[in-house]
Structure 1
Amino acid sequence: MLAAALLCGCSAIGPTHPVPPGTPVAQTPWATAGARYGSEWAHFKLPGKRGVDFRYVRNEGRDAVAATSVSAASMLRKPVRIEAHDLGSVRFSWKVPELIAQADLALRDLADSPVRIVLAFEGDRSRFSMRDAMTAELAYTLTGETMPYATLMYVWCNVRPPGTVIRSPRTDRIRKLVVESGSANLNRWLDYERDIRADYMQAFGEPPGALVGIAIMTDSDNTRTRTRAWYGPARLVPSAAFVPSAH
């Protein structure tokens, strides 16, 4: 459980499940948008956890991925590679019908969320604290994957106001930035564009390294509840100085 919680920010935990051509999820722009930045989206499951049901739907005229979690935790992830000087913004949208009443993103045993946008970054791992170095070593032993230097999550919190940074109770290398709070905007589509560099600086107090992964994650395993949400396509927008390739 420790490794699963630590690495939920875009490091593969357990087997990778690519989205096969012709399946419902593969029909959505999720599978093809931003091909400049890496491979396609894939479902990543956590060992010992029930997987979330992700599927392509149309919701209020939008292409979306519907996520349904029944005491489950997993993610759709896309590996990318964007150097720090090329970082721009991330555009995403979500629709949440109901919050998880018992959830608290700051508490180890209640840290569930109907929606998360997850970004993983490289960095100078020699700066890890002893605790985080030991955590990274344990995670690698258990999963065979290198823990990201830093993971930034955009989250919807039950009570904390937008702009709040929540540090993971399990590792200082995962920080959650609240972009939506409370119940006022439930059951409606919400659209965001976030400055990746500025948000990373706010969360971690230092410039970001290269972006190496983006994911969506829905989980209700800690609270043992049922939750659902819809995600619009998550798109990475290059900085003004970055000139996309012709491919």
Structure 2
Amino acid sequence: MKTRSVTDSVVQCIPALLLMSLAVWPLGPALAVADAAGALPEGWREVRFSGQTHYRQVEGCWRGTSDNAASGLVLESRVNVSQTPWLVWSWRASTLPAWPSISERSKDGDDFLARVYVIHKGWLPWQTRAINYVWSREARVGEHWPNPFADQAHMVVVQGRTGAGEWQHFARDVRADFLRYHGIEVERVDAVAIMTDTDNTASRAEACYRLPVFQVRR
């Protein structure tokens, strides 16, 4: 029997949006799944936490369908945000799901129709920081809060309940956001990810993503 290490215990305490960046660590609870014959975007891989959100390419976007599940797609790639600070992406959902009346600021309600997040790795796992841009079912655009599982990640609302059925386009100055929400100046980020998850609320949701990319200006 393998003895649990201190590293394992620490990793178990970090929420899914940080674990995506730590999937290369062998002892974490997340299961990293390699691209299967082009089934995922080139260079991306799936990371599963609870069940499986199914991602497939349809009509020029990547659709994530989650039924009481949480898994995401992550691209581990170091980006110099001094040169290309703007993260741009789009998403769309045809309908809004019927969510239970549980606050998404709580652990039991920490599910989102769509998430895009960017990760800056520290030297140690607990030094990692993440910004999680979300489609909120209850908060207004611009509201933000620390993730209920660990404040190394910060939730930032970029869309509220409106806009279902229409493509929504976003551009964020990631370098400025890390300074605003984490109080740190970063020169690089190490990963981006997308996830539609419903495991905490035992719900079903679906959203389609045009994958995030970094560029010089919005």
Q: Does 1:81 align with 2:78?
A: yes
Q: Report the CA distance between 1:213 and its aligned residue.
A: 0.6
Structure 2: distance between partners of 1:84 and 1:4: 24
Matched position secondary structure for 1:120: strand
Q: CA deviation at 1:90?
A: 0.7
In structure 1, which of residues 203, 207, 229 is the aligned counterpart of residue 207 of structure 2?
A: 229
Alpha-carbon distance between aligned partners in 2 of 1:123 and 1:147, rounded to the nearest angstrom = 7
Q: Is 1:45 aligned with 2:48?
A: yes
Question: Counterpart in 2 of 1:54?
Answer: 55
1:124 and 1:209 map into 2 onto residues whose CA distance is: 15
Distance 1:100 1:74, change over 3 A: farther
Deviations 1:147-170 (A, max 9, x none): 562011100112222111111112
The equivalent residue for 2:154 is 175
List aligned pairs for 1:195-210, cutoff 5 A.
195-210=173-188
CA spacing shift, 1:9–1:199, aligned 2, 3 Å: farther
1:14 matches 2:17: no
- SS of equivalent to 2:82: helix
SS of residue matched to 2:178: helix
- TM-fit CA distance, 1:5: 3.7
TM-score, normalization: structure 2? 0.82
Unpaired runs of at least 5, structure 2: 1-11, 24-28
What do you get for the CA RMSD once the two structures are aligned?
2.3
Could you tell me which residue of structure 1 aligns to residue 88 of structure 2? 91
Gaps of 5+ in 1: 32-39, 126-145, 241-247
Identity %: 23
Instruction: Count the aligned residue pairs.
Output: 200
- Cα displacement (A) at 1:239: 6.5
Cα distance in 2 between the residues matched to 1:148 and 1:43: 23
User: How far, CA to CA, are the matches of 2:97 and 2:13 in structure 1?
Assistant: 24
* Secondary structure in structure 2 of the residue aligned to 1:203: helix
Q: Which moved more, 1:191-200 or 1:66-75?
A: 191-200
2-structure distance, mates of 1:68, 1:147: 30
CA distance in 1, matches of 2:155, 2:98: 17
Task: Note if contact 1:105-1:166 (Cα within 8 Å) is conserved in structure 2.
Answer: no
Q: Output the CA distance in 1 between the equivalents of 2:197 and 2:158.
A: 18
Contact 1:104 1:158 in 2 (8 A): no
**C-alpha contact 2:52 2:69 (8 A) present in aligned 1:** yes
Q: Among 60, 67, 70, which residue is 1:70 paired with?
A: 67
CA deviation after TM superposition for structure 1 residue 229, in Å: 0.7
Deviations along 1:52-101, one digit per CA (max 9) or x if unpaired, are 1111111xxxx111111010001100001124533411111001221452
**Contact 1:10–1:119 under 8 Å retained in 2:** no
The alpha carbon displacement at 1:236 in A equals 1.4
2:91–2:169 Cα contact (<8 Å) kept:
yes
Cα distance change on mapping 1:6 and 1:90 into 2, 3 Å? closer
Alignment partners' CA distance in 2, 1:92 and 1:115 = 12
Map of 1:220 onto structure 2: 198
How far the C-alpha of 1:202 sits from its partner, in A, is: 2.1
Bigger fraction of residues in helix? 1
TM-score of the pair, normalised by structure 1: 0.73
Q: Residue 143 of structure 2 aligns with which residue?
A: 164
Q: Distance in 2 between matches of 1:6 and 1:94?
A: 18
